[in-house]
Amino acid sequence: MHANDPLDVTRRSLIAGGVATAAVVSTPLGAQAASAPAQRAPAATLPVSLKINGKTRKIDVDPRTTLLDALREHLDLTGTKKGCDHGQCGACTVIVEGRRINSCLTLAVMHDGDSVTTIEGLGQPGNLHPMQAAFVTHDGYQCGYCTPGQICSAVATLGEIKDGIPSHVTADLAAGIAPTEDEIRERMSGNICRCAAYSNIVTAIRDVAGERA
């Protein structure tokens, strides 16, 4: 290719640009660190008092700690599972002040003084909660990872129905009729089961609700 060929000039310009870029990339780390922002100091902790499964527990947590991580990492209550950590699967469902919530979507410090029920507080081997027993009876699980959240959600669901809290399909409830399969599926739709044990989960819940499928 001729020295004055415009294509050759372009090629040489590109090579020169590449060398300049390489020089920037290869700048010693120390020089880069000198211009980097200072590292943040560790966050201060805040005291939180939770009434968990009937017992008052006091912890100091980084204010950014979710209720889920407080339960699992600070209180060793690992029955509550972390699935998505983004409010999409329901594996982390616990009951707070009588209402089910996704514990991955709320901060522990927001629940200072609240009553929290986890799967460990519903029942224990040899003394199962009726919902736990029904899940066993009807094979409402396979791998079991979603099961603590499913059971907490199911218990709270029946509480919601009893309290007359509406869902999208409330015709039967308004008439005082036991929850239908559709009603239960609607109310439990926030709890995902990768093993697809849905039919047996619904059967277990209807069993506890007194409406045998």
Residue with tokens 């039919």: 199
Cβ 145 to ligand FES shortest distance, Å: 5
Cβ 106 to ligand FES shortest distance, Å: 10
CA atoms within 13 A on the CB side of 82: 14
Task: Please give the structure tokens belonging to residue 135.
Answer: 């899940």
Which 117-176 residues touch ligand FES, going by CB under 6 A?
141-147
213 binds ligand FES (CB under 6 A): no
178/192 with CB nearer ligand FES? 192
Quick one: which segment of 18-26, 70-78, 171-179, 188-196 binds ligand FES (CB under 6 A)? 188-196
20/143 with CB nearer ligand FES? 143
Question: Which residue in the set 50, 92, 202, 208 belongs to the binding site for ligand FES (CB under 6 A)?
Answer: 92
Quick one: which segment of 40-48, 77-85, 126-134, 169-177 binds ligand FES (CB under 6 A)? 77-85
**Binding residues with ligand FES: total (CB under 6 A):** 23
Helix (H) or strand (E) holding 2: none
Cα 34 to chain centroid distance, Å, stands at 39
What are the C-alpha distances in Å from 143 to residues 83, 140, 148, 196? 13, 10, 11, 10
Query: Is there a contact between 82 and 68 (Cβ–Cβ < 8 Å)?
Result: yes
Task: Please give the structure tokens belonging to residue 163.
Answer: 């309290």
